[in-house]
Chain A
Amino acid sequence: MNIPEELLYSKSHEWVKFEDDETAFVGITDYAQEELGDLVFVNLPEEGDEFATGEVFADVESVKAVSDINSPVTGTVAEVNEAIMDAPESINSDPYEAWFVKFSGISEQENLMDAAAYEKFVEEEKAKEE
């Protein structure tokens, strides 16, 4: 399980990479892509869309099912990664390169975890599964 040190993590398995206090890239974690299975479709918001923490801002479809992706921050979509719409499988192969959107004007964020805390959280999730 790959959990990069420099990122922050949400309980719904999104990663957040802050560029500055108000700007951040958001994607889904290695654990999330593993749980979802082979991804075949991504539905992304449009530039200018606004989301509050916990709101659904995108959805991904595996061969088997659709899953919502929650926004870990309150902010405005400044950029969407159109490359992952053409190649959803890149989220499986490289989840931390395959960012979904770049948020700007971030005014609020969830209680995000650092890598160590997220690792512990994932272990607990796995234990629950068994």
Chain B
Amino acid sequence: MERKTTLYDTHVKYGGKMVPFAGYLLPVQYGTGVIKEHMAVRTGCGMFDVSHMGEITCQGADAEANLNRILTNHYCNMSAGRARYSPMCNEHGGVVDDLIVHKLGENNYFIVVNAANKDKDFQWMQDHTEGRCVFSDISDSIGDIALQGPLARTVLAKITDEKDIPEKYYTFSDEVHAAGIRCMIARTGYTGEDGFEIYMPAEKAPEMWEVLMKAGELEGLIPCGLGARDTLRLEAAMPLYGHEMDDDTTPLEAGLGFAVKMDKKTDFIGKQAMLEKGEPQITRVGLEVTGRGILREDQDVFIGSEKIGRTTSGTHAPYLKKAIAMAMVNKDSAAEGTEVEVDVRGRRVAAKITALPFYKRNK
């Protein structure tokens, strides 16, 4: 039985087409359709219910030390009000999940994890806690709305104090108010655009949603569903757990080396395995279809008769107006411009290897 976020009735009211996702009933799209929703975020602004995401706090005198040991990124020299992405690895170097850590204060963190992995993550963190540190799963009490797009800031400025808007990417303002609702506003997102994720008490999310809808009328703000969330992140080449990484793929193979600090002072889970594996033999690349067809996940990639890898995600990219995919391929075959073929249900579709990301916003 799927659960509903506090915004369920709001989605139905706005014409959301509800589907099961990660244990929740969420809108895959609204009446406008995925393409218009995608374009709204690229050119104006759009809004997503991401309340299904998991939120876990990490507190105690040894909180920072625990994060440094459990996560691959480093959490020293980090000021309060900053957010930092990290994979969380198992002993084999595979990825348990990827997540964002927000530093509220000394040894006081707010972690956002993937909905589908929430229980697994929480268990993993608890099983690997050492010393004085407590992880708490507060997911059910938190509502989360993502306001994304080049005009997101303009809309947000109408309902909150200018000083409470976080200035830089991956920073946040805690214990502020928007629309009279106490919340945390982070300048983060999963779309490749400027934007914000607003965390608040779950029961306040419907009220925040309506205020935002009204505030964004002039900017063309529309509600967006899971469909657009996926095409947006894919165009921006942002990895998705279960696709570009999983329990058996290391973050280095998945192209997330920037968030793996092999030389940080503390030893961390998965480091030894990654050292033993050495230089990754596979790598994440972009594919752009040059023939006719749409690529999807789990399709074999060939050069002639030689299989060089598999696609991990694929779609028609609405903004770029072409079919794109990400794939994990042998490192030796990964040169940009390489012509490949992808087996799409028995039919070979021509594609070429391209640089990632497919889309990068103008700053």
Contact = CB atoms under 8 A, between A and B. Distances in A.
Interface of A: 37-38, 40-41, 43, 59, 61-66, 85, 92
Interface in B289-331: 292-294, 296, 315-316, 318, 323
B296 A63 contact: no
B293 A63 contact: no
Looking at chain B's contact residues, the main secondary structure is mixed
Contact of B293 (A38, A41, A64): A41
A61 B227 contact: no
A63 B227 contact: yes
Given A37-B34, A38-B34, A41-B323, A66 B29 contact: no
B33 interface: yes
Interface residues of B, number: 19
The residue in B28, B33, B38, B347 that gathers the most chain A C-beta atoms within 10 A of its C-beta is B33
A64 B28 contact: yes
Given A40-B35, A41-B293, 9 more contacts: A38-B34, A40-B294, A41-B316, A43-B347, A63-B231, A63-B316, A63-B318, A64-B34, A66-B345
Contact of B33 (A38, A43, A59, A85): A38
Given A63-B231, A63-B315, A38 B35 contact: yes
A27 B286 CA distance: 34
Contacts of B38: 63
A40 B296 CA distance: 13
Interface in B1-50: 28-29, 33-35, 38
Contacts of B28: 64
A107 B40 CA distance: 49
Given A63-B34, A63-B318, A37 B29 contact: yes
Nearest to B323: A41
B32 to A, nearest CB: 10
A28 to B, nearest CB: 16
Nearest to A35: B17
Contact of A64 (B227, B323, B345): B227
A62 B33 CA distance: 10
A62 B318 CA distance: 11
A66 B344 CA distance: 11
Of A59, A61, A64, A65, which is in contact with the most chain B CB atoms at under 10 Å from its CB? A64
B141 to A, nearest CB: 30
28 contacts: A37-B33, A37-B34, A37-B227, A38-B34, A38-B35, A40-B35, A40-B294, A40-B316, A40-B323, A41-B292, A41-B293, A41-B316, A41-B323, A43-B292, A43-B347, A59-B345, A61-B294, A61-B316, A63-B34, A63-B35, A63-B227, A63-B231, A63-B318, A64-B34, A65-B296, A66-B294, A66-B296, A66-B345
Contacts of B34: 37-38, 62-64
B317 to A, nearest CB: 9
Nearest to B321: A40
Contacts of B316: 40-41, 61, 63
B342 to A, nearest CB: 13
The 6 nearest A-B residue pairs measured at CB: A40-B316, A63-B34, A61-B294, A38-B35, A38-B33, A41-B294
Interface in B327-345: 345
Q: Which of A40, A41, A63, A85 has the most CB of B within 10 A?
A: A63
Nearest to A41: B294
B35 A43 contact: no
Nearest to B32: A38
A73 B235 CA distance: 40
Contacts of A38: 33-35, 318
Contacts of A61: 294, 316
A83 B231 CA distance: 26
Nearest to A42: B292
